[in-house]
Structure 1
Amino acid sequence: MGAIGLLFSGAALFLNSLMLLGKAEEKSVAFFNILVGALQVVTPVYLIMISDQSNWSMFNNGAVFLFGFTYLYLGATILKGFDSSGLGWYSLWVAMMALVYAAVYYIQENDVLNTFIWVMWAFLWFLFYLSSALKKPYEAYIGKVAFVQSWVTLTLPSLFMLLDLWQIEKLQQIWIYVCAASCFYFAVTAVLFFRTQQKEEVLQEEIA
């Protein structure tokens, strides 16, 4: 995915995280999702048209559609008031595709950093599946995961790319540790979140 596409994906995910955390109004965020989604559907079509049409070019450019259709689907779901189950099942499918991308980057390219990032994206899409398709009340937790990922996997890497720093080996090594620290944060936050939920359920049972 190009640096500009990553940058605006970071912006969209940042706004979505604030929406999930109750700090941004849904419809205003949905409109931005539509804008970014449209950009990330038109752009890969153009890139595919001017590419060498090889399988690897198709594979790389096709990844942008995963993001583009997610943002378009989310924006339309909110603006039109659709049930979110379709979006949730689509998110599960994208989570599985993200794992395929992770495996290819690891096996074919031996690219640990991109493998790590794709696994993190797969985890986030899986959380959207749990929330949207299975109606799990995990918005507060998903908002925190999305907030961190908007910066760690999208916004900052895209800025490094634009500044021609992303290819520096030392920076990539550091970023692997940043991703690992982020995953540790996700795990700790998950434990605290579910413990709080259990306590609230016990209190509700006692009151009832």
Structure 2
Amino acid sequence: MGDAGLLLSGAALFLNSLMLLGKANAKSVAVFNLFIGALQVIVPFYLIAVSDQNNWTVYSLASIFLFGFTYLYVGLTLWKDLDGSGLGWYSLWVAVLAVIYAAVAYVHFQDIVSALTWLMWAYLWFLFFLSMGMNKKIDVYIGKVAMVQSWLTLTFPALLSMTGLWQTDQVANAWIYFSIAAFVYFAYITLKLKKTSARTEKFA
């Protein structure tokens, strides 16, 4: 599935970000989430079944399930207008696993780009936990984070990988700086959100 799966994940996250920003209808977006989620659950099961069963092969393929079940869960929650608390707590569980994947990428594989990418995904899943598990009203904020990540961590890496450019030192170094810039942007909009919340509480 590899690069094609990343590309489709980028599309799904892009649509989800637009929904959170109030630019797309929830049930319309739900359809795409269900489609991509189903693919990213069915295909990894097959790939694991026919793989060499090496622990690192299974470890790598299993990470696709984190996305697949998230998209399925999001799609069903939106389509059926379900309470999102279950999805929120599931997102917290995935956020913890994403931090572990980040640590393994850095320590075992010495892959700084993958480590930073997994940390970004962990942050996004944690935001979904805050929104749906803890009922924080931060949809617009999450939409902005998801918009950046849909391109930076999924769409562009998939395209660069399919064109054979992703593994070059120049791209890898550039992506480290892009990732750091993204974290700085997230910190900036977090401060803005806190200031806005404080101002609202003051005049409430």
Residue of structure 2 in register with 1:119 after alignment? 119
Cα distance in 2 for partners of 1:86, 1:129 equals 9
Deviations 1:43-66 (A, max 9, x none): 111211221001101100000000
1:202 to partner: Cα distance: 1.6
Deviations 1:122-160 (A, max 9, x none): 000000000010000011111100000000000000000
CA RMSD of aligned residues (A): 0.8
1:5-16 alignment to 2 at 5 Å? 5-16=5-16
Structure 2: distance between partners of 1:194 and 1:14: 25
Tell me the percent identity: 54
Match of 2:137 in 1: 137
Q: Could you give the per-residue CA deviations for residues 48-98 of structure 1, whole angstroms, max 9, x where no partner exists?
A: 122100110110000000000000001001111211000000000000000
TM-score where L is the length of structure 1: 0.96
- Deviating beyond 6 angstroms after TM superposition, the runs of 4 or more aligned structure 1 residues are none
Inter-partner Cα distance in structure 1 for 2:202 and 2:39 = 46
Map 1:22-101; keep pairs closer than 5 Å: 22-101=22-101
Give the deviation of 1:24 after TM superposition.
Answer: 0.5
CA distance in 1, matches of 2:97, 2:188: 26
SS for the counterpart of 2:136 is coil
Q: What's the CA shift string for 1:139-182, capped at 9, x where partnerless? A: 11111000000000000000001111111111001001000000
2:195 — aligned with what?
195
d(CA) in 2 for partners of 1:99, 1:202? 36
Displacement of 1:198? 1.4
Match for 2:127: what amino acid?
A: L
Aligned partner of 1:56: which letter? W
Q: d(CA) in 2 for partners of 1:119 and 1:79?
A: 29
Q: Describe how 1:98-177 pairs up with structure 2 within 5 A.
A: 98-177=98-177
What residue identity is the alignment partner of 1:47?
L
One-letter amino acid matched to 1:165: L
Corresponding letter in the other structure for 1:44: P
TM-score by length of 2: 0.98
How many matched pairs? Answer: 204
What SS class does the counterpart of residue 144 from structure 1 fall into? Answer: helix
Instruction: For 1:19 and 1:82, locate their aligned partners in 2 and report how far apart those are by CA, in whole Å.
Output: 16
- CA distance in 1: counterparts of 2:55 and 2:161, whole angstroms: 24
